Amino acid sequence: MSKRSNRVVVVTGASAGVGRAVAREFGRHGASVGLIARDKDRLETARREIEDLGGRALALPTDVADADQVERAARQVEEQWGPMDVWINNAMTTIFAPVSEIRPDEFKRATEVTYLGCVYGTMAALKRMLPRDRGAIVQVGSALAYRSIPLQAPYCGAKHAIVGFTDSLRCELIHNRSKVHLTVVHLPAMNTPQFSWCRTRLPRHPQPVPPIFEPEVAARAIYYAAGQRRREIFVGAPTVTAIYGQDIAPAFADRYLGARGYASQQTSQPVAPDRPDNLFHPVPGDYAARGIFTQQAKSFSLQSWLDLHRSPLAAAAAALLSAGIFLWRRHA
């Protein structure tokens, strides 16, 4: 993807967290970004940020759990700027609690936003991309799409479902020889506001399982994925470890997380009894990309950097090897 892409991009969950960081990243590269989320005020703030960075933005207050609203937002983007090039499904919500303490309506809502929101976004994008035979759809996945953890069953289940849905759709695109590209970017623990506004029944404040990364690490990988033909991208060494560890020793992971997964997802601070949450309604406030764990969060992942630069690194390694062989033969 060029430095000034001028691409038309849609990002769901764009008002905060990873979605906000992704929208900024595309704006920094001159894209026109349709911003989908529920909170109007944060969408307007995100719009101004993108314009200050040199891009264009359109605030589209939308609940992704409503297919009609998602379709309307997609139509507005194309009416404003023309054909979309990239659609990024990132919106999510969750509830931190044991399964036995989650109500059916809560489980349904988390699934509708995190999983069906992805399905509805993909369908809205395909409706426009398939006839043109071009475009890219990026699903924001998670290490938890392969290795579930306790206390987050709605989120883990939804992320698993996204992988199943995406793999099925990818086969259909291959069958039809479609040039629409579908990819998933799997993330590690991220420092986003979700831990300050997700619904929780834990005794202490929720936290991402360390090690934690800043959302800009994810944004760089998602921006990269939108311009490549990769099937999946794993961000951060913990993601790689979790996914391949699940293949190698799933029973060990079950026992390990059963013993340690509760404490690792909570700080030492109690949860305020009047804490608002965003499960059914947006939480007002000046939230942005980063959450409250910046002191612990890493702003760089060596694994991710090497992965995103593997082609030039491979070329450089091949050149060095060739030069070494030439010199060896010359002096042999």
Domains of the chain: 8-300 (3.40.50.720)
Residue 169: enclosing H or E segment and its boundaries?
helix 153-175
- Which pLDDT tens digit goes with each residue over 203-244? 999 999 999 999 999 999 999 999 999 999 999 999 999 999
pTM value surpassing 0.85:
yes
DSSP track, 278-309: -SSSPPPS---S--S-TTT-BS--HHHHHHHT
Supply the residues annotated as catalytic. Answer: 155
Query: Is residue 332 pLDDT above 80, yes or no?
Result: no
- Which pLDDT tens digit goes with each residue over 250-297? 999 999 999 999 999 999 999 988 899 999 999 999 999 999 999 999
Q: How confident is the model at residue 310 (pLDDT cuts 50, 70, 90)?
A: confident
User: What is the rounded average pLDDT for all residues in the chain?
Assistant: 94
Q: What pLDDT was estimated at residue 5?
A: 63
Mean pLDDT of 113-118: 98
Residue positions counted in the chain: 332
- Name the maximum alpha-carbon separation found in the chain: 77
As a whole number of angstroms, the distance between CA 114 and CA 274 comes to 25
Q: What is the separation, in whole angstroms, between the first and last Cα of the chain? A: 44
